A = this chain, B = another copy of it.
Amino acid sequence: MAAVRTIELLQQTSLTTLVQRDIERRILSGDLAPGSKLVEADIAAALGVSRAPVREAFRALGQAGLLRTEKNRGVFVRQVSLEEANEIYEVRAALEGMIGRLAARRIRPEQLEKIRAVVKKMHVVSRSLDAAAYFPLNVEFHELLAQASGNRALIANYRRVVNELDLCRRETLARNAENIPLSTRDHEAIVNAVAKGDEKLAERLLHEHVIESRERLHRALAKPARAA
């Protein structure tokens, strides 16, 4: 049965897809900083492919909001201004509230269990204030919750919005590590509301959680970057 997976993989995986995933990963990991210019030939050479798949990947990532294309000048990792980030956070709050409501309505036991496991890990990490370890757990928590909503259109839109925010959000946690324990407490309250099936509460808590994130971003950007 693993063979079926392999076949599907080969059927779906073109060079373009591979390149696209690689660039997306590098952007979201912060490896490619916002504003950086991406040179087609360089990326093509680095990955050992021609420019065509790279250009196609650029088009997809442009539509996804991760890249900005200027004709005859090149493509750049998108820079999200503070003002834009505010607007995106507002959208995310609405989507996340919806996720809370739907997840509370139809989360399945095994999904709940997985989320609780993540929260438990966060609890451990939160004591060390290790932002680098906390960040992926935070992403996973929200991702699992989104999946529990059971609405594919919602999940897709949520992911896109989160990706855009990741363009500037990475800074936040590193600069405000002291917020981690607060955030962890939020997550526990959210899981409990979802577990109880309290749609209204889950919706409100998640909405507020996002708005708090937005305020954390503001405070982080007001601060100077921490010394390296």
* Residues of chain A at the chain B interface (Cβ within 8 Å): 11-14, 16, 52, 55-57, 59-65, 70-72, 84, 87-88, 90-91, 94-95, 97-98, 151-154, 156-157, 160-161, 164
Cβ A153 vs Cβ B60 within 8 A: no
Main secondary structure of the interface of A (DSSP, over half): helix
Cβ A153 vs Cβ B91 within 8 A: yes
Could you show 16 A-B contacts with beta carbons less than 8 Å apart? A12-B71, A13-B71, A52-B52, A52-B55, A57-B59, A63-B63, A65-B156, A87-B151, A87-B153, A88-B153, A90-B151, A91-B98, A94-B95, A157-B157, A157-B160, A157-B161
Of the residues B13, B59, B157, contact of A16 by C-beta under 8 Å: B59
CB distance from A155 to the nearest CB of B (A): 9
Q: Give A97 to B64 CA distance when docked, in angstroms.
A: 24
